[in-house]
Amino acid sequence: MTFAHQSSQPVTLRPATVEDVPTILRCIQGLAEYERLGHECQATEELLRESLFGATPAAEVTLALVGDAPAGFALWFRSYSTFLARPGIYLEDLFVFPNFRGFGIGKQLLTSLARTAVERGYGRLEWAVLDWNVDAIGFYESLGAKPTSDWTTYRLTGESLIVAGGLL
């Protein structure tokens, strides 16, 4: 899918392939640094290759390219709503490299995911945003997204996950 771009080169969105793993890792690392969570990023090319392109892919990735240059990505997976009794898309990560921001690439990625959700008959597209990220919040709200402030996200990870699973 190609979109008009403010520079001389078009923006192309396409599904990632296994050959894109180094680019995906760069996007993830860039996002982790932006979110001040670089110290928590454990992703490696090997882990991404297996989890995204192995026997049971856990997520899909849409890459944005300006010409041949990687500009950003959206990493997402299928979720499910019991209330809607339909699948949905959960957007895990949306990232545009700093030198490509301000050209509408993030909007193009979100538009593409919304289109995918509608075309597949899914009932929703949702994601989380850090409460300090006012630029992202403003961007999402400009698209018509609404916060669900009546829900609090909880997470088990690392040792807490192992303990909760009765394995320690």
167/94 Cα distance (integer angstroms): 34
Residue whose structure tokens are 């001389």? 8
Q: How far apart are CA 116 and CA 122, in angstroms?
A: 8
Active-site residues, by number, are 140
Collect all residues with Cβ–Cβ distance below 8 Å to 144 and sequence separation of at least 6: none
The single-letter DSSP state of residue 7 is S
- Quickly tell me which residue has 């892919």 as its tokens: 57
Closest of 38, 83, 36, 78 to residue 58, by C-alpha:
78
- C-alpha span between 42 and 29 (Å, rounded): 9
- Contact between residue 159 and residue 168 where contact means Cβ atoms under 8 Å apart: yes
CB 45 within 8 A of CB 22: yes
